[in-house]
Amino acid sequence: MFTSKANKIFQDVIEKYHIINTVNQPFTNVYDKDTNLLEHLLYRKCWIDTVQWHYEDIIRDPQIDPVAALTLKRQIDASNQDRTDMVEYIDSYFLEEYKHVNAKENATINTESPAWGVDRLSILALKVYHMNEEATRVDASDSHRAACQAKLDVLLEQRVDLSTAIDTLLNDIEKGDKYMKVYKQMKMYNDDELNPVLRSQK
């Protein structure tokens, strides 16, 4: 199943990040894009999500220097764009993978593309990792660990459900029961022609 591979890659990425555990560490993709394109994209996608997860932790420090916060906000904006780009790359992979499939006459479209499901699965892997940290944190109270374990149980169930849904969608696309279309995000706030604040400064 596709999601078995994806979940394993996401786990590997998150564990690799936490060896050094800093947002400033160098990134190396362990998968060659020419021979393992899908794995390459999934690895990169989860790395972006993992770094951004920790950006979001840092920027919530109430004592953060305002100048540093603004710099970090710009980094988060850039990371969000990278995240969106990777989703579109993954969807392009699936479009190419299933281009030979003729959709059935009664085929339907899904509410989200396969890669946006993958996006949610990557974020869910991060939630599972960090909730497990809290559920096993030795310096936390018993009640804290118990509450986090209950949340972790829900997240693990959610991962099973989401994985099943993604695999089912891909199977339906392969059989022609579903078809996919990819819409570019067209984020207006990054475009100096569409954002009125940026446009006024040209």
d(CA 67, CA 78): 17
| pLDDT higher than threshold 70 for residue 26 | yes
CA neighbor of 79 nearest in space, from 109, 63, 64, 58: 58
Q: What is the pLDDT of residues 82-120, one digit of tens each?
A: 999 999 999 999 999 999 999 999 999 999 999 999 999
Angle at 90 between CA 163 and CA 174, to 5 degrees: 60
Task: Report pLDDT digits (tens) over 28-73.
Answer: 999 999 999 999 999 999 999 999 999 999 999 999 999 999 999 9
E-assigned strand segments in the chain: 108-109, 178-179
Tell me the C-alpha to C-alpha distance, in Å, between residue 171 and each of 43, 133, 178. Answer: 22, 34, 9
Domain ranges within the chain, ordered by starting residue: 2-191
| 126 contacts 18 by C-beta, under 8 angstroms | no
Task: Please report the pLDDT score of residue 67 as a whole number.
Answer: 96
What pTM did the predictor assign? 0.90
Predicted local confidence at residue 186, as pLDDT: 60
Taking residue 30's Cβ as centre, other Cβ atoms within 10 Å add up to 12
pLDDT in tens, 113-153: 999 999 999 999 999 999 999 999 999 999 999 999 999 99
C-alpha separations of 187 from 148, 175, 190 in Å:
35, 33, 6
Q: What is the pLDDT of residues 158-202, one digit of tens each?
A: 999 999 999 999 999 999 999 998 877 666 666 666 667 656 676
